[in-house]
Amino acid sequence: MKDLSAVIAALIGFLVCWGLGYIVIPYLKKLNFGQTILDIGPNWHKEKQGTPTMGGIMMIPAVLLAVCIAFGYSAIIGGKFSMELKTMEKLTQLLAGVIMALCMSGIGFMDDYVKVVKKRNLGLTALQKTFMQLLVSALYLLTLFLCGMKTTNIPFIGDIDITSGFGLLFWPIALMFIYGFTNAVNLTDGIDGLASTVTLVVSCAFMLAAGILYNLTFSVLSAALAGACVGFVCWNAKPAKVFMGDTGSMFLGGMVVALSFGIGRPILLIFAGCTYFLEALSDIIQVAYYKKTKKRIFKMAPLHHHFEMCGWSEEKIVFVFSLIAFAGCIIAMLPILFRF
């Protein structure tokens, strides 16, 4: 019997996340966990004041339950997914990736908690977040190394030994890579439906990539994430009934990083995650240029706010940015499709 674990994971991920909206959103409203809109943002965002935040927590049980149910199904039929997880390497990679994403989400939760409950709009300090994120990233990389990660694949070059010589540079670069992309996804979460829709596109690309590479474990995880993103978009599309908060965006950041490492090609996230990259780059450029000249290159950073200030609707921004993500995913897929 053909193993349909990925299809089941996507369906369960969607249903659970969508269904939880009927429970979690009213509860967040009851707790008065409303978003505080900062004065530095576009004026029209003030109408979103009080919209429940931290709703990204709905995606976590959706992904976890989807993977567990898919595993149970695969085990019953004797499918490939359950067989893969019997190997220590695949099981460790899966657990390490999910735990890393959960820890990133935990950092985001603390940030949201400080903002919403303690009424400190800026949340945790940059130093606090950076220390915790780098620690989680380092422990994740250490786990991958201990479970047998000895090479990484670079298109047109092939597998590179990362245990000696220049290959050792992979580890500090990977540390900053994880830190950077996790925060880049967080920056992308600034308008209704943007981060969840872009991540839907990226997770679908990794689902396809993992399938081509015969890596059903991460194909299932990608599918579960894609399904959860669709379920969340049902509540987060404009006008958003709930925001994901740092709790959700940091989880998504950790997950897309885990998917890229899980298929052994983290470098492809630079292309698949080009929308995240551009958002982060615009923020870095804006801050650096302003510090030097006291002038701004963009009307507002990150990039999606610049286009808002130019008169683009939120729906148009989501569509165009998702289209850019789709184009980046196609580029990322080429080395896998043509075995570069």
Outline where the chain has alpha helix (H).
Answer: 5-30, 59-77, 80-84, 88-116, 126-146, 170-188, 194-212, 216-236, 245-262, 269-272, 274-293, 303-309, 314-337
Q: How many CB atoms lie within 10 A of CB 49?
A: 10
What is the pLDDT, as a whole number, of residue 294? 86
Amino acid, single-letter form, for residue 312: W
Give pLDDT tens digits for 277-316: 999 999 999 999 999 898 899 999 899 999 999 999 999 9
What is the pLDDT, as a whole number, of residue 126? 87
Cα 315 from Cα 307, distance rounded (Å): 11
Whether the predicted pLDDT of 45 surpasses 90: no
Whether the predicted pLDDT of 43 surpasses 60: no
Q: What is the largest CA-CA distance in the chain?
A: 65
DSSP 241: S
Give pLDDT tens digits for 102-144: 999 999 999 888 877 766 666 678 899 999 999 999 999 999 9
Task: Report how far Cα 129 is from the mean position of its chain's Cα atoms.
Answer: 17
Cα 199 from Cα 87, distance rounded (Å): 29
| DSSP letters spanning 109-173 | HHHHHHHHTS--TT-S-HHHHHHHHHHHHHHHHHHHHHTT--EEEETTTEEEE-SSGGGGGHHHH
Would you say the pTM of this structure is higher than 0.85? yes
Dihedral, CA atoms, 294, 299, 300, 301, nearest 10 degrees?
Answer: -80
